[in-house]
């Protein structure tokens, strides 16, 4: 059995700013500071790391567990609102690819994303892709992408038949974080230049496979044989 772990933002979809607007609103609501999230380069970072950077930028200190809880409590309904009010872009070829992979009996699909779990499901749902996934590793599991990838691998075991081994894990993502942490977690790494990093920038991190996008079904499926 092969496990395929997809990153969400920039890989499967783009929320076109809905995530940023929801985080901005949550931060403004509690701390009265506007556009806090807009100033952060969030690509490839986990939600806890993004939160740490926002606190450092705006308040020059770290956040407490309670503060994170309060912010996420507002962020989640704001994210629901923002994704409902705007269009989520699905990346080229993704629906066809996921439909194809979902039918394969030798493949199990999961996500490996820096989003906290509730946020991840809202984004996947807004793109109509949530039904392809039952589990994943999330920013709510760890601030370190390597660890949340390992968490997703552990959860995959519960989703395959008893006694079936996961022989190979693939991490598919749009940033150097996906490539470097995927490799550290023992996965085959697949870079895709549909997010904020160019093909050349991703190439510097030597992914095992590299694509401009995942639109060519035949070629993409070939790496999972
Ligand atoms: Mg990403």
Q: Within this chain, do residues 65 and 77 fall inside the same structural domain, yes or no?
A: yes
Strands (E), 28-135: 89-90, 107-112
Q: Within this chain, do residues 70 and 106 fall inside the same structural domain, yes or no?
A: no
Q: Within this chain, do residues 171 and 124 fall inside the same structural domain, yes or no?
A: yes
Q: How many whole angstroms separate alpha carbon 136 and alpha carbon 6?
A: 9
Alpha helices in 103-144 (DSSP H): 117-126
Measured in Å, residue 210 CA sits from the centre of ligand 1 at: 15
Measured in Å, residue 106 CA sits from the centre of ligand 1 at: 25
Measured in Å, residue 163 CA sits from the centre of ligand 1 at: 32
Measured in Å, residue 169 CA sits from the centre of ligand 1 at: 18
According to DSSP, the β-strands at 13-14 and 89-90 are antiparallel
**pLDDT tops 80 at residue 221:** yes
Question: What pLDDT sits at residue 146?
Answer: 96
Give the CATH number, domain containing residue 41. Answer: 1.10.150
The rounded percent of the chain whose pLDDT value lies above 70 is 99
Tell me which of 36, 57, 85 is where a domain ends. 85
Question: What pLDDT sits at residue 36?
Answer: 93
Give the tens place of pLDDT for each residue, 161-212. 766 789 999 999 999 999 999 999 999 999 999 999 999 999 999 999 999 9
For range 46-74, the mean pLDDT: 96
For residues 169 and 202, is the Cβ–Cβ distance under 8 A?
no
**Local structure of residue 9 (DSSP, 8 states):** B
| Burial environment of residue 66 by CB neighbours within 10 A (0 to 12, 13 to 18, 19 or more) | exposed
Tell me which of 69, 85, 101 is where a domain ends. 85
Q: What is the pTM of this model?
A: 0.96
Long-range Cβ contacts of 93-99 (<8 Å, 24+ apart): 93/213, 93/214, 93/215, 93/216, 93/217, 93/220, 94/12, 94/13, 94/129, 94/214, 95/128, 95/129, 96/217, 97/214, 97/217, 97/220, 97/221, 98/129, 98/132, 99/132
For range 25-37, the mean pLDDT: 95
For residues 109 and 133, is the Cβ–Cβ distance under 8 A?
yes
Q: Within this chain, do residues 163 and 56 fall inside the same structural domain, yes or no?
A: no
Measured in Å, residue 8 CA sits from the centre of ligand 1 at: 6
Q: How many CB atoms lie within 10 A of CB 199?
A: 13
Question: What pLDDT sits at residue 213?
Answer: 98
**Domain residue limits at 80:** 18-85
């Amino acid at each position: 059995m092969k496990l395929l772990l997809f990153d969400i933002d920039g890989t499967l979809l783009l929320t076109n700013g809905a995530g940023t607007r929801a985080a901005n609103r949550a931060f403004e609501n509690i701390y009265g500071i506007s556009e806090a999230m807009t100033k952060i380069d969030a690509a490839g970072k986990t939600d806890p790391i993004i939160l740490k950077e926002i606190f450092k930028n705006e308040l020059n200190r770290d956040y407490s567990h309670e503060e994170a809880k309060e912010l996420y409590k507002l962020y989640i309904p704001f994210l629901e609102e923002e994704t409902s009010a705007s269009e989520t872009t699905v990346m080229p070829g993704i629906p066809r690819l996921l439909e194809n992979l979902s039918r394969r009996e030798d493949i199990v699909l999961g996500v490996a994303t820096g989003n906290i779990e509730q946020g991840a499901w809202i984004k996947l749902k807004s793109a109509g892709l949530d039904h392809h996934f039952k589990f994943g590793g999330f920013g709510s599991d760890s601030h370190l992408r390597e660890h949340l990838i390992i968490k997703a691998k552990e959860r995959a075991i519960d989703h395959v038949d008893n006694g079936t081994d996961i022989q190979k894990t693939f991490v598919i993502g749009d940033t150097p974080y996906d490539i470097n942490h995927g490799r550290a977690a023992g996965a085959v790494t697949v870079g895709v230049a549909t997010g904020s990093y160019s093909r050349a920038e991703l190439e510097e991190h030597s992914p095992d496979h590299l694509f401009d996008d995942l639109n060519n079904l035949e070629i993409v499926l070939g790496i999972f044989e």
